[in-house]
Amino acid sequence: MIALLARVTGSFVATFVTAWVAIALACVAWAIATPLGATPDEPSHVIKAASVARGELIGSPGSDPSRTIVEVPAGIAQAWNWTCHARDLTISAACIPPSENGLDLVEAETSAGLYNPVYYAIVGWPSLFITDTGSAVLAMRTVSALLVSGLLAFAFALVMRMTPRVIGGIAFAAATTPMVFYLGGALSPNGLEIAAALAVAAGLLYICLGNAGHRIAVLIGVAVSGLLLANARGISPLWLAAIGTVVLVVTPRERLASIVRTTAVRATLVVLGISVVAAISWVLATGSLGALGTFAGAGTVSPIEAFLVMLTRVADPGVIGIFGWGETVAPGVVFLIWSTLLAGVLVAAFSVARGRALVGIVVGVGAIVLLPAIVQAASIRTSGYIWQGRYTLALIAAVVVIAAVLVGPRLAELPATVLTRVSLVAAAAVVVGHVAAFANALLRYASPGSTSPGAFLGRGEWSPPGSGLLWLGTLGLGLVLLAVLWLGRSPVTEPEPVER
């Protein structure tokens, strides 16, 4: 079977489609197995999505500048009742009260009202006709999961063409922490932001450094993912600019001049430019970045102090696995696995990179360290400490993949037996880590404080549709399929020629 898949996935399209299926299985498993209200700020995002689907992009002013009032179905308006388990590890998801069903509209308040409506327009449409409130939310999550997994699959397929599989596979695995798949199954633009950043980074690298194969298809992918990235969240245009800067740094000047002369590339740049202008215009028109609410430190902490504090929070655990409303932490082994992967990729890249590649990696890592600190310092007086590790994931994932592509051939000069062993160990660790993170989160909501396997069989205080075991198996199947794509061919298979 592995040999068959290896032959089939030699095609870019086949690799993309198979990876999409594999990643979608993992993201959809998270989407269905996570209780209502157990993803970050989900009530606000659900209400926003349902209102945008009905043509209400903002709504009317709410109880404070960060909130707006919109009209949504009555069951969705009750979304804040779903958070009874939030921040309390002793309460299971069984506390969630039944929601009203139907499509009759009532007023509801959301803190996401001023956010860019692009993501919400894409995912909110199931709420227009699904009368069961819980099913409508799960359907919206599933739409989001399919969108996110498609972008991640696009990035995966390109990385596999640009660098030896052992290097590309490890880098992609490092970039897609359990938090990425969890957010991929959440109703939140954060998941879209991360996936689109990875897709843009891989696509721009392929256009600037790769050969001419699939160029039009890749340019379309870059245009679409760039549009989605720019309009995902208020800060997203900054990530697009940072990724573009790193790619420009690593691209030879003569190569760049040749690429920019082509009509298709110019058209793509126009789309990206319009997307950024539209995103920034929305932020300026709504003042959404200045209406984020008030948190600890607002008005009491200086920008310099906030900047220095943020420099100490680069290695935030939220990059790897802090689920729910910050109370559901992945097992320690999960942090060990991804800390090793992320640090390993970047340390290896710094060790062997030369010239433009080294400068680009330095610029990328510098952006990871400095940009969140600058943004937090700029908003500390009005909003306080608002930054969470997951907000930096888009940039971290993109830089890790870029670094791997730039140094992949040099790292592949290691003995084939060493590369094979490293690849097998890394793949096994990744599957174990994702499963452990998922199982731990499911147990927390099904039977707090319990380690009983009965929770996976529907015998806990709460159980997802089907059973926990069904969705744990779905996640595992997707991860194994993705590992087969990574390992199915020789880990030192020669990639397409790339200008480095």
pLDDT in tens, 184-201: 999 999 999 999 999 999
Domain check: are 145 and 200 in the same one?
yes
Predicted confidence at residue 3, as pLDDT, reads 45
Residue 499 or residue 258, greater confidence: 258
How many structural domains is the chain composed of?
A: 2
Residue 54 lies in a domain: yes
Residue 494 lies in a domain: no
Domain check: are 52 and 32 in the same one?
no
Residue 449 or residue 181, greater confidence: 181
Q: Which of 89, 120, 138 represents a domain boundary (last residue)? A: 138
* Least confident interval from 34-43, 55-64, 117-126, 142-151: 55-64
Q: Mean pLDDT over residues 265-269, rounded?
A: 91
Domain check: are 85 and 155 in the same one?
no
Predicted confidence at residue 214, as pLDDT, reads 59
Domain check: are 123 and 156 in the same one?
no
User: End-to-end CA distance of the chain, in Å?
Assistant: 35
* Strand arrangement of the beta sheet that strand 60-61 belongs to: 60-61, 68-73, 105-110
Domain check: are 104 and 148 in the same one?
no
Q: Mean pLDDT over residues 2-9, rounded?
A: 48
d(CA 250, CA 42): 39
Radius of gyration of the chain (CA): 22
Residue 220 or residue 386, greater confidence: 220
Residue 498 lies in a domain: no
Q: Mean pLDDT over residues 93-107, rounded?
A: 91
d(CA 286, CA 280): 10
Residue 479 lies in a domain: yes
> Which amino acid does the sequence have at 219?
L
Q: Which of 138, 160, 189 represents a domain boundary (last residue)? A: 138
pLDDT more than 70, % of the chain: 91
Predicted confidence at residue 493, as pLDDT, reads 47
Nearest one of 145, 111, 126, 159 to 24, comparing CA atoms: 145
pLDDT more than 90, % of the chain: 58
Domain check: are 291 and 348 in the same one?
yes
CA angle at 98 for the pair 121 and 130, rounded to the nearest 5°: 35
Domain check: are 106 and 15 in the same one?
no
Predicted confidence at residue 10, as pLDDT, reads 58
Sign of CA dihedral 286, 140, 99, 105: positive
Is it the case that residue 8 has pLDDT exceeding 70? no
**CA of 314: how far to CAs of 303, 304, 366, in Å?**
17, 16, 11
Task: Tell how strand 322-323 and strand 328-329 pair up.
Answer: antiparallel
Is it the case that residue 134 has pLDDT exceeding 80? yes
pLDDT bracket for residue 380 (50, 70, 90): confident
Predicted confidence at residue 293, as pLDDT, reads 62
Domain holding 76, by residue range, is: 43-138
d(CA 334, CA 331): 6
Q: Mean pLDDT over residues 383-396, rounded?
A: 85
Q: Mean pLDDT over residues 412-439, rounded?
A: 88
Residue 217 lies in a domain: yes
Domain check: are 366 and 282 in the same one?
yes
Domain check: are 53 and 84 in the same one?
yes
Domain check: are 177 and 128 in the same one?
no
Q: Mean pLDDT over residues 94-122, rounded?
A: 91
Q: Mean pLDDT over residues 275-291, rounded?
A: 85
pLDDT bracket for residue 496 (50, 70, 90): low
Q: Mean pLDDT over residues 349-355, rounded?
A: 90
Residue 492 lies in a domain: no
* Least confident interval from 174-178, 197-201, 422-426, 433-437: 422-426
Those residues with Cβ within 8 angstroms of residue 209's Cβ, 6 or more apart along the chain or in another chain: 162, 250, 251, 255, 405, 498, 499, 500
Domain check: are 391 and 412 in the same one?
yes
Domain check: are 107 and 207 in the same one?
no
pLDDT bracket for residue 6 (50, 70, 90): very low
CB-CB contact of 95 with 85 (8 Å): yes
Q: Which of 138, 155, 175 represents a domain boundary (last residue)? A: 138
Residue 374 lies in a domain: yes
pLDDT bracket for residue 2 (50, 70, 90): very low
d(CA 372, CA 388): 9
d(CA 361, CA 56): 42
Residue 252 lies in a domain: yes
